[in-house]
Amino acid sequence: MPLGETASTDASMATLDHSLQTVDSTTSVRRDHRRWVILIIASATATIAALDSTILNVAIPTIMRDFDATLPSVQWVIAGYSLVFASLLVTGGRLGDIFGHRRIFIVGASLFGIGSLVAALSQSVVQLVVGEAMIEGMGAALMMPAAIAILSKSFDGHERAMAFAIWGAFAGAGAVFGPVVGGLLTSYASWRWGFLINVIVVPIVIAAAVLFIPRLQRSGHRQRLDISGALLLATGMALLLFTVSEGERYGWLRPKRAFTLRGLDVWPQSNPISVVVIACAASIVLLGAFYRVSRHKERNDADPLFEFEQFRKRAFRVGMIVTLVMGVGQVTIMFVLPVFLQEGRGLSASQVGLWLLPVGAIYMASTFLGGRLARRVALRTLIRIGLLLWACAYFYLASVISPGLTFLTVVPMYLLFPLGAGFVIPQLANVVLADVEPAKVGAGGGAHTTARQMGISLGAATTSVLLSAKTITAGVTKVNDAGALPAALKARAVSALRADGVTFEPPSGATAAQASALRRIFNESLVSGSQWAFLFAAITLLLALGLSMFIPRGRDPHRSGRERDPNATTARTAH
């Protein structure tokens, strides 16, 4: 449903009327202090959604024991949430554009709370998948694009940059603190409290949304939901994300293991090609069909789910590409460093969480600083500075990582990484949405989050392969060159390295001295694998830095697209 009113036959009078309404709307919202409550609501939403995606990682062994379940079945809880969330983001954003972002936000939050309750009370992995992966994933896909759209419509100019900074601070902090909170809850209470927290917080968020987020007074006709496009995109994205995230596990070309659902071999290991190949081919077909259907509906003004014409806007196009590339490098530090600290340094999960606490605290502070700097520095300059600092953090880690790594050694990383990320992540959303029309900002926000999620999935898959492959290669070479070890022990150690990768343990039958030598070889090999992963991430961020040079200049980057659109009428009213 377009936000503009029906055009008058007198074009000049219509333009004047639109301009006066925009000015009046801007003034009214700047006087409306509810926008700060809206920011609190959006930030709380970002926090619980980010916590939910990471809080269970450290609870997997406990859940396996409680439900007498296998590791692959429990991993589907976390992987399923990401698949459902990412595949429905654009559809969730579009529903907000059509039916109102306030309404869709409340529906999404309600689903998120219901899913959390189902997960908290679950008595089996199947119930946990239904609650966490399916219901919560759908709720988050409705809730997050709506929150971004409401923020975009409630703030403008320098305030808008600060609002996105604060929102990004809480989202990032939730992701960082998730494993810490999950570890504490699992150790001293129950992993179920990771969901019960949402059951407590969500009703408060819904009540605040009802009271403080204003309604939209609709005018004109309501656009239709593109059902065929939604089905094609959701299915295609789910299969593409499965391909990227599960390729290493199931095999990129030939099957490494059977693909099973509830104990049924859907795709046996005896098949000549991996299930990942089938999923990839199907995703290409479905996403290609989505593009063709959407372009056809665009040409016929038939309300497509997503208008690819948005990519003609340079800020949107470049911002999306930078977001995707940045996402590839984003996940490395939170994936590689915990693995190295646990497997290479022998730290517990709770100790690793304490090592990472400064990252979350400094990230929150840096997003506020970035929001303040946005008053004086062009957004593209701020993003470039952030990407450079972020890349420097990875180069630094690659240079200092060693079996004897200490907390003090990584202190410079605690400054460079969160400072850079705090400058980049929130303001990229600002750049992407700057030129998106108000009636399409939900779908635009969903597309931006999808691009970031896709980049993170690509980065996780690539980093996992690189870390494991380089660790195994270095380890096999070092074991074979170790003259003091018996040939039979070398063979068993090489076999264990190739099978276990970064979770290698010296084979049984080795003496204490031999086990110590093998452990030292593994630690040195894990250093090599970690260095390659950090260097890859640093180069990726430098590529994102190069691409950011194409973010347009020559106009005020803090002015919203609504201020430049003479047809915008209710630019400041949230759905």
Q: Which residue has the higher pLDDT, 255 or 567?
A: 255
3-state SS string for 72-133? HHHHHHHHHHHHHHHHCHHHHHHHHHHHCHHHHHHHHHHHHHHHHHHHHCCCCHHHHHHHHH
Question: At residue 526, does pLDDT exceed 90?
Answer: yes
Average pLDDT over residues 488-505: 88
Question: At residue 175, does pLDDT exceed 80?
Answer: no
Q: What is the pLDDT of residue 391?
A: 96
Average pLDDT over residues 337-342: 85
Helix (H, G, I), strand (E, B) or coil at 310: helix
Question: At residue 462, does pLDDT exceed 90?
Answer: no
Residue 293 pLDDT level (bands cut at 50, 70, 90): very high
Q: What is the pLDDT of residue 289?
A: 96
Residues 297/304, Cβ–Cβ less than 8 Å:
yes
Q: What is the pLDDT of residue 179?
A: 72
Question: At residue 151, does pLDDT exceed 80?
Answer: yes
- As a whole number of angstroms, the distance between CA 93 and CA 290 comes to 17
Average pLDDT over residues 203-215: 91
- Judge if pTM exceeds 0.85: no
Pick the range with the lowest mean pLDDT from 15-24, 145-154, 373-382, 485-494: 15-24
Where along the chain do its domains lie? 11-225+305-471+530-564
Bridge partner residues of 260 (DSSP): 265
- As a whole number of angstroms, the distance between CA 234 and CA 152 comes to 25
Residue 320 pLDDT level (bands cut at 50, 70, 90): very high
Residues 29/154, Cβ–Cβ less than 8 Å:
yes
Residue 548 pLDDT level (bands cut at 50, 70, 90): very high
Residue 248 pLDDT level (bands cut at 50, 70, 90): confident
Average pLDDT over residues 506-523: 90
Q: What is the mean pLDDT of the chain?
A: 82
- As a whole number of angstroms, the distance between CA 198 and CA 201 comes to 5
Question: At residue 533, does pLDDT exceed 90?
Answer: yes
Helix (H, G, I), strand (E, B) or coil at 267: strand
User: Encoding tokens for residue 173?
Assistant: 């902090």
Residue 321 pLDDT level (bands cut at 50, 70, 90): very high
Q: What is the pLDDT of residue 454?
A: 84
Q: 374-418: per-residue pLDDT in tens?
A: 888 888 899 999 999 999 999 999 999 998 899 999 999 988 998
Residue 525 pLDDT level (bands cut at 50, 70, 90): very high
Query: What is the helix, strand, coil percentage profile of the chain, to 5?
Result: 75, 0, 20
Percent of residues, the chain, with pLDDT higher than 70: 87
Pick the range with the lowest mean pLDDT from 236-245, 343-352, 526-535: 343-352
Produce one character per residue of 382-413: b if its CB has 16 or more CB atoms within 10 Å, e if not.
bbbbbbbbbbbbbbbbbeebbeebeeeebeeb
Residue 499 pLDDT level (bands cut at 50, 70, 90): confident
Question: At residue 220, does pLDDT exceed 60?
Answer: no
Question: At residue 23, does pLDDT exceed 50?
Answer: no
Q: What is the pLDDT of residue 362?
A: 87
Question: At residue 2, does pLDDT exceed 60?
Answer: no
Of 57-61, 178-182, 225-229, give the range with the top mean pLDDT: 225-229
What architecture does CATH give domain 11-225+305-471+530-564?
Answer: Up-down Bundle (1.20)
